[in-house]
Amino acid sequence: MPKEITFEQLNDALLDRTIEIYQKKSGDDIKYKFRTKGMLYTLKVPQDQVTKVENLISSNSKSLEIIPV
């Protein structure tokens, strides 16, 4: 069962464990899905916070690609 997280819970520890990131448009929001070995985390953000999330993902030491769905 996926676990929904908030922007504040998105941190380097979660991104280090992340294998894949999916991005999906959901109404007026954008939904990110972070796949780790044992869990799927979802994050729903409004359009104006997309750049914050993508900057946080790109600043991580691991090179993660965002896959559009």
What are the boundaries of each domain within the chain?
3-68
CA distances from 4 to 9, 40, 50, 57, 61 (A): 10, 9, 17, 17, 24
CATH number of 3-68: 3.30.720.90
Residue-wise pLDDT tens digits, 12-64: 899 999 999 999 998 999 999 999 999 999 999 999 999 999 999 998 877 88
pLDDT in the model for residue 31? 97
**What is the C-alpha to C-alpha distance for residues 68 and 53, in angstroms, rounded to an integer?**
14
Supply the pTM of this predicted model. 0.90
- So what's the pLDDT on residue 11? 92
